[in-house]
Amino acid sequence: MDHKVRFEWELPESLLGLIAQDEAKVAEEVKRAAVLDWVRMKKISWRKGAELLDMTYRVFLALMAEHKIPTLEYREGWLEKELAAFEKGQEEHGP
């Protein structure tokens, strides 16, 4: 079952103009920012983020890129392992 969440936030008039021109657009911007932050912090999946913002998965991935949220993650040491495997392959098969 879905729950509707409402909250009030007093913004300085000067900030309102920077984010969006009207209150409805500000609410959408805040919702988008919250969802993107939850994705960034790995609280929700990319697909759930797309669903919450009523977007296709591809459009959501583009939005993530726009906000510099990486869609590829490499574990520490991954590059070194790949380079070692590449070099080993080069030695076995020649140049």
- Does residue 23 carry a pLDDT above 90? no
- Does residue 51 carry a pLDDT above 70? yes
d(CA 21, CA 26): 8
What pLDDT score was predicted for residue 44? 97
d(CA 88, CA 29): 50
Considering the entire predicted model, what is its pTM? Answer: 0.70
Summary mean pLDDT of the chain: 87
Nearest to 40 by CA among 68, 75, 82: 68
